[in-house]
Chains A and B, each alone.
Chain A
Amino acid sequence: MKQTSSSHVVLAHGGGGELTRKLLSERVIPRLANEFLDPLTDSAVLPAVEGEICFTTDSYVVEPLIFPGGDIGRLAICGTVNDLAVMGARPLALSVGLILEEGLPLELLDRVVDSMAAAAKEAAVPVVTGDTKVIEQRGGSGMTITTAGVGAMRAGFRPGAGLIEAGDRVIVSGLIAEHGLAVMAARESLGIDSLLKSDAAPLAGLVKTVCDACHTIRFVRDPTRGGVAGVVADLVDDAALGVEIEESALPIAPAVRHAAELLGLDPLTVANEGKIVIVVSEEDAERALEACRSHPLGRAATIVGRIVESDPPLAELITRIGGRLVIQRPYGEELPRIC
């Protein structure tokens, strides 16, 4: 297909001139429309909020751009919302920066922006400002997205590893390892046809439900890159306490487990985009669990472990057969192996 400025991104789309204006006004802005974005001022103006504000930024690079259960757009919105959500905050507004590679089909851009709009609506958080740049083709996936988000902190609630105590329980809000495996399985070079779908979802509502029900929530984090293993390893460092996770308690769907075996991956290290790890006091654990399960995104929540005194502080997996091994932060990219 011959690439023209009406079918594909060209360098001029990023030039700031007529093509840029058209791209934004015809394709991007109408899809994201909301009262804060529509004035199209250099900066969006937000109403004042009471209390502290939290602020996050993130960047999204994923191959392939579209995968079962989502795409880079959904990932970007949900990921940023979730960075705010795990602070216990109410997300207020998002910004989106698009870096487009020359040659990206405009149809694909439309699809991603539609997806961002849908995710923003689902999360009830507007995209209030943004930016678009075009770079020369460099054989990447075609698009990078950078975001920022602001949220209103919940009064009197500042979750963090410093609050964690021995005896606390560790809850996972649902089936793990879905996102990372869905994306890996979707890579064309592997020739895998899969039913696996990314679990990307905005979690502010789930976190609010849990925090409304329990006042001894210590710590909340979304196990994205690095998976549950990454969160648990960080937690141990930050809290200077040990963690014991029961392998048999981990909620993993059979299809996910089998795909992990196929690709030689450890589900504990695989990214999740629609789950949270919660640390809660022992006495509130059941209540937190029920609160999670009462929410559509937390139906499969499970208590998977406990915080323990340990010197040096170690994260350990108690295996199915009662053995133990250390859980560490995984290194870098997990790749399909023969061995």
Chain B
Amino acid sequence: MCLAVPGKIVSRAPDGADLPLGTVDFQGSRVEVSFALVPDAAVGDWVLVHAGFAITLLDEAEARETWHYLEEAGLVESFPESDS
């Protein structure tokens, strides 16, 4: 009953920030995600995201094996940084 999608953490608020938020990249779409349910998640980790929350860590290689649409050229390196 649940759409959850794998993505890579590209930024994370530092420890001590009010809320454990960060950004997950889905091959070009980036969403603000809460890591409240996966507090140990760090930049570079892959996570499974459901409705704006990371629900578990994923091993990248296993993730690429499991989700057939994760093409090799996953992370878009040249994503323009937003001003915020």
Contact = CB atoms under 8 A, between A and B. Distances in A.
Q: Do A and B bind each other?
A: yes
Interface of A: 185, 191-196, 254-255, 257-259, 261-262, 264, 320, 337-339
A257 B29 CA distance: 10
A147 B32 CA distance: 38
Given A195-B76, A254-B74, A338-B2, A261 B30 contact: no
Contacts of B74: 254
Given A194-B30, A196-B29, A262-B26, A254 B71 contact: yes
B29 A339 contact: no
26 contacts: A185-B29, A191-B32, A193-B31, A195-B28, A195-B79, A196-B28, A254-B69, A254-B70, A255-B26, A255-B27, A257-B69, A258-B7, A258-B27, A258-B28, A259-B28, A259-B29, A261-B5, A261-B26, A262-B3, A262-B26, A262-B49, A338-B1, A338-B3, A338-B50, A339-B1, A339-B2
A46 B22 CA distance: 58
Interface of B: 1-3, 5, 7, 23, 26-32, 49-52, 68-71, 73-74, 76, 79, 82
A192 B30 contact: yes
A261 B28 contact: no
B29 A255 contact: yes
B3 A258 contact: no
B66 to A, nearest CB: 13
SS of A interface (majority): mixed
Given A258-B5, A338-B2, A192 B29 contact: yes
A268 to B, nearest CB: 14
B2 A193 contact: no
A176 to B, nearest CB: 14
A320 B67 CA distance: 13
Contacts of B50: 338
